[in-house]
Amino acid sequence: MLIARDLVIEAGIRTLIRDASFSVQAGDKIGLVGRNGAGKTTLMRTLHGELEPAGGVILRSGRIGYFSQEADLPDLEHPDATALERILMAREIGAMQRRIEEARQRIEELDGEERDRAIARFSRLLDEFEAKGGLAAEADAKRIAASLGIGPDELHQLVRTMSGGQRRRVELARILFAETDILLLDEPTNHLDLDAKAWLIDWLTSYKGGVLVISHDLPLLDEAITSVLALENGKIESYRGNYSHYLEERERRREQLERTRRHQEEVIGRLEENIRRFKGRTARMARVASAMETRVERLKRELVDVQRSGPSVRLHFPQPEPSGRVPLAATGLAKAYGDNVVFVDVEFAVERGERMLILGLNGAGKTTLLRILAGVETPDLGEVSIGPKASLGYYAQEHEQIRTGVSVIDHMRSVARLPDQTLRSVLGLFLLADKVDQDAGTLSGGEKTKLALAMLFVARPNVLLLDEPTNNLDPQAREALLDALTLYEGTVVLVSHDTDFVAQLGPDRAILMPEGEMRFFDEDLLDLVALA
């Protein structure tokens, strides 16, 4: 059980949340909604205990699991842990399995009586592992992993060699495998294909514990949750029902508040008109006017507060200087991580103004290819050619370009020599005007996305390399990004699993990974986008 009473959460000098009271109990399936930057992720981290509230009380009981929207992993107890070991370590049997492996290796190193004792210890550990249901638990972990799109080969891959998307799926499997009473899930569907999302919805529906989930995946919110906590303008309001019901009920409540507000203002207006009429007349009328003034002051204090819609992201990429006819080309690219061969002999050329989509299943090397094109990684074979007058702008899905300890405004300064007033104005377009001096590492996932896009905005590249740019964006910001890319006259190379976004953008061609096959884009490929 998780109970928050009179909670106050601050970020620097800003109060994100004030006087919030709610609970998450067994069987609750609650969606936490609000615009990017409203404080949803900060609230999650505070509920988990990573941050301290500025006021109020949080009561926790039972085991709480927290899934962060960031792909960064904490320092691993065993740096050489495989994905399966990482998942299993969420329960005691994971540590037992590691001790069994260490005992087995010890046997190989010893001889004589020491080896006999090591064999006896190895045997005891195996018996304990079986007695605690270790084999069944391992099968359960593999089942969860497979349901989230983690293949058998990935299970035996070292976690530290995995892509951000792979790491997130491993961490989600770990959280679901752990025996928890409360789950705090921050954007759990990022990097999941359609089948994995459907499985997760079913899993959450049947989960006996309490769930508090942040997600911009509306089907998840509609199908898996039974109530909503809406965070708006620093206040939390509770709604019963799924996300669709919340939208209807929010509008109904707003209309009711507006009617009440209009009635209050009409009453105040009539009283003020009477005050003006009665003042300056007889002493008795003056006393009546004075009483009316007292009532007006009380009514003004009691005016209901009608929350207005917040400001919207306004995004329009400046049209760049044109590049040469072929701004970007790849020849014979190959990449492997140890024994894991990601792709070989990939080559293509992107033409000026083209929209190219990189397609493939999870682990097919989409992000790796984009990182190589951006110059962040080096191919094992082949080369990337940057054409005449081409300038690249790279958006990394894991926000690698956002550095902890560096302010928002300094990130902008690092990519463009423009007056600070101009940079601040651009940040205002992305709703980051009040965060210019904030440590960028403390921004939410959605805010980091907006900062990364703002950096692209002022850098004015004519080739955009975008890796899952809609992850963590609220629906309004996503639409603003789509509109901006539609009008952008430069070249776009995109990785995305957002089917609607891709369909509306309308790519010209697609490269299918890991084979590197080039195809003209058509609607048939949208099915593969959904599986990416």
Residue 272's CB is within 10 A of a number of other CB atoms, namely 13
Q: Which of 234, 266, 301 is the last residue of a domain?
A: 301
pLDDT tens-digit readout, 176-185: 999 899 999 9
Question: Does residue 345 sit in the same domain as residue 489?
Answer: yes
| Boundary-marking domain end, from 161, 181, 201 | 181
Q: Is the confidence at residue 382, as pLDDT, over 60?
A: yes
Residues 405 and 500 in one domain: yes
The candidate with the shortest Cα–Cα distance to 407, out of 428, 438, 442, is: 438
Please give the model's pTM, rounded to 2 decimal places.
Answer: 0.68
Across 16-39, average pLDDT? 89
Q: Domain for residue 413, yes or no? A: yes
Say whether pLDDT at 311 is over 60.
no
pLDDT tens column, 485-508: 888 889 999 999 888 889 999 999
CA-wise closest residue to 253 among 330, 305, 313, 178: 305
**pLDDT tens digit string along 406-452?**
999 999 999 888 898 888 888 887 878 888 888 888 887 778 888 98
What are the helix (H) ranges across 460-521?
A: 475-487, 499-505
Please determine, for residue 148, whether its predicted confidence score (pLDDT) is greater than 80. yes
Q: Does one domain contain both 333 and 467?
A: yes
Give a yes or no: residue 457 inside a domain: yes
Residue of higher predicted confidence among 106 and 182: 182
Give residue 401's domain range. Answer: 328-531
Q: Is 293 found in the same domain as 411?
A: no
**Residue 349 shares a structural domain with residue 394:** yes
Predicted local distance difference test score (pLDDT) of residue 351: 94
Q: Which of 129, 155, 181 is the last residue of a domain?
A: 181
Structural domains counted in the chain: 3
Give domain status of residue 232, yes or no.
Answer: no
Instruction: Report the sign of the C-alpha dihedral through residues 168, 174, 177, 179, in that order.
Output: negative
Average pLDDT over residues 122-141: 78
Question: What is the per-residue pLDDT for 117?
Answer: 82
Q: How confident is the model at residue 507, as a pLDDT?
A: 93
Any idea what the CATH number is for the domain that residue 524 is in?
A: 3.40.50.300
Mean pLDDT of 115-130: 79
Inside any domain, residue 452: yes
Let me know whether 406 and 470 are in one domain: yes
353 vs 350: CA distance, rounded Å? 9
Residues 347 and 460 in one domain: yes
What is the rounded average pLDDT of the residues 163-183? Answer: 89
Regarding whether 343 and 276 lie in a shared domain, the answer is no
> Would you say residue 71 has pLDDT above 70?
no
Q: Are residues 160 and 273 in the same domain?
A: no
Let me know whether 86 and 161 are in one domain: yes
Q: Is the dihedral of CA 501, 505, 507, 511 positive or negative?
A: negative
In a domain, 382, yes or no: yes
433 within a domain of the structure (yes/no):
yes
Residue 59 is assigned to a structural domain of this protein: no
Highest mean pLDDT among 49-58, 114-123, 294-303, 423-432: 49-58
500 and 403 within one domain: yes
- Domain membership of residue 272 (yes or no) is yes
